A = this chain, B = another copy of it.
Amino acid sequence: MDKKELLVIKIGGNVIDDNAFLSKFLEDLAAIPQPKILVHGGGKLATQLAAKLGIETQMIDGRRITDSETIKIVTMVYAGLVNKKIVAKLQANKCNAIGLSGADAQLIQAHKRKHPTIDFGFVGDIDSVNSDFLQKLLEDAYTPIIAPISMDNAGVLLNTNADTIASTVALAMSSVFKVKLFYCFEKQGLLSDIKDENSIIPTIKIEEIQQLIDNKVIVDGMIPKVQNIKFAIQQGVDSVCLCHASNLLDISRESSNFGTTFLN
């Protein structure tokens, strides 16, 4: 029997920080008829709250450290404020959303990141996803909304990259569903010329990725994002699309005339 389609959609911080745009995005999401899971980032709210409370952002070698105060802040903001705001807006649009952190129902089990020289603090690398639980929620027509917080096996909450959560969840669901993963962000897709918003590369085969990195078409923060995408496709996710957050309704229409689609 053919697998049923499942959309795993990730929205980044820039969408969350813009209230009007977030409302439109969630209205569009609620209108998508397919089963779907949303993974959200945190936006600037956590940094702003930390600043107001006088908690300094610690950086080591240019990398952010999640200390014991910061994990409390991100738990409050990501799993509390942002997650429930999204859930409530979806409910208002008749989408029966349920907000989850990685601690709830052991959804995302992780371990504290190990690094030879840097102690990242309360940062988690993912070990497993409770896909059975997500499947049951989807069968009952609930839409899971996942905050980027995971948990280790001693019950310690950990800050985890939302892009990685999205690809890992997509992967975990691939045994049961035909999973299409969408990274929605503030650009139209992968651009062949970073200065030209219209130079969208419509499709990329994963074997072409390294060349695009070598040619500096894929640069900076896009490199780990694309590596994540490559891994997801290699491991069984049907397709991954990088697109603007305003393309959400195109997703449900199965239009292919938007964003950059990564294929095997």
Q: Which residues of A contact B (CB under 8 A)?
A: 52-53, 72, 75-81, 83-85, 87-93, 96-101, 103-106, 133, 136, 140, 142, 149, 151, 153-157
Q: Which residues of B contact A80 (CB under 8 A)?
A: 75-81, 83-84
Chain B nearest CB from A146 CB (Å) reads 12
Q: B91 and A98: CB pair below 8 A?
A: no
A259–B92 Cα distance when bound, in Å, is: 42
Shortest 6 CB-CB contacts between residues of A and residues of B: A80-B80, A92-B155, A76-B76, A76-B80, A88-B155, A98-B105
A163–B81 Cα distance when bound, in Å, is: 23
Known: A80-B80, A84-B149, A87-B101. 11 other contacts (CB 8 A): A76-B76, A79-B79, A80-B84, A84-B104, A87-B103, A90-B155, A91-B103, A92-B156, A97-B105, A99-B103, A105-B142
What residue in chain B is nearest A136 (Cβ atoms)?
B140
Set B53, B88, B153: member contacting A103, Cβ < 8 A: B88
Q: Which residues of B contact A52 (CB under 8 A)?
A: 52-53
Q: A91 and B151: CB pair below 8 A?
A: yes
Chain B nearest CB from A139 CB (Å) reads 10
Chain B nearest CB from A74 CB (Å) reads 9
Q: A103 and B84: CB pair below 8 A?
A: yes
What residue in chain B is nearest A86 (Cβ atoms)?
B103
Q: Which residues of B contact A83 (CB under 8 A)?
A: 79-80
Q: A84 and B157: CB pair below 8 A?
A: yes
Q: B87 and A104: CB pair below 8 A?
A: yes
Contact (A154, B92) CB under 8 Å given A99-B104, A101-B84, A101-B99 = yes
